[in-house]
């Protein structure tokens, strides 16, 4: 008996258009735009370096009028005939500024015997000054230089750095103004610890 010939393989039918569209791979998703990054609060701001420009001994001390913790205006020229210790400090209620203020508080009687008055100056508000005075029973005026005008006049407002972060602020500096209104002594880069005694010995 003759063997049967193998059946010819049928040609695969071409898919219809609809089927072809179904067989197409899905389009690749378009690349997402990178998310907007939030500013890094620890990044260094573009602060133009502003060096110290302190007054020199023998120069006339710029007159000023600033409010104290109660809002009363203190004018430097009103103290003519007395020695005035003007100490600029960075911020109320901070460790270094507290040490400095308390040392001036403890030395108030000795400073008075030398004919000197003490004026603390910072850019803090009168309200913060009141808290500082009340907490540490300070016995001398703290003046508010909110607009930084006096700090700039006396050359103590300049660029500072901390842990690589640059910013502008008050450099801890003390001036002794004599009875005629001239700069008698300048203390820069002040170390709060023992500073009041250092001032006292210079009067």
Q: Is 102 annotated in the active site?
A: no
SS (H, E, C) the chain: CCCCCCCCCCCCCCCCHHHHHHHCCCCCCCCCCCCCCCCCCCCCCCCCCCCCCCCCCCCECCCCEEECCCCCEEEHHHHCCCEEEEEECCCCCCHHHHHHHHHHHHCHHHHHHCCEEEEEEECCCHHHHHHHHHHHCCCCCEEECCCCHHHHHCCCEEEEEECCEEEEEECCEEEEECCCCEEEEEECCCCCCCHHHHHHHHC
Of the listed 54, 76, 86, 97, which one is catalytic? Answer: 97
Question: Catalytic positions, please?
Answer: 97
């Amino acid at each position: 008996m003759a063997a049967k010939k193998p059946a010819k393989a049928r040609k695969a039918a071409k898919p219809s258009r609809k089927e072809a569209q179904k067989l197409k791979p899905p389009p690749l998703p378009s690349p997402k735009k990178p998310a907007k990054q939030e500013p890094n609060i620890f990044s260094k701001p573009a602060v133009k370096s502003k060096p110290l420009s302190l007054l020199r001994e023998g120069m006339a001390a710029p007159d000023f009028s600033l409010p104290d913790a109660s809002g009363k205006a203190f004018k430097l020229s009103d103290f003519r005939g007395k020695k005035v210790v003007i100490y600029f400090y960075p911020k109320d209620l901070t460790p270094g500024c507290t040490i400095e203020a308390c040392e001036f508080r403890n030395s108030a009687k000795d400073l008075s015997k030398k004919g000197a008055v003490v004026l603390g100056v910072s850019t803090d508000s009168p309200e913060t000054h009141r808290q500082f005075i009340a907490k540490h029973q300070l016995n001398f005026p703290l003046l508010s230089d909110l607009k930084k005008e006096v700090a700039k006049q006396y050359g103590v407002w300049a660029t500072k750095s901390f842990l690589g972060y640059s910013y502008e602020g008050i450099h801890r500096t003390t001036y002794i103004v004599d009875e005629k209104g001239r700069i008698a002594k300048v203390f820069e880069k002040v170390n709060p610890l023992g500073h009041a005694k250092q001032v006292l010995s210079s009067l």
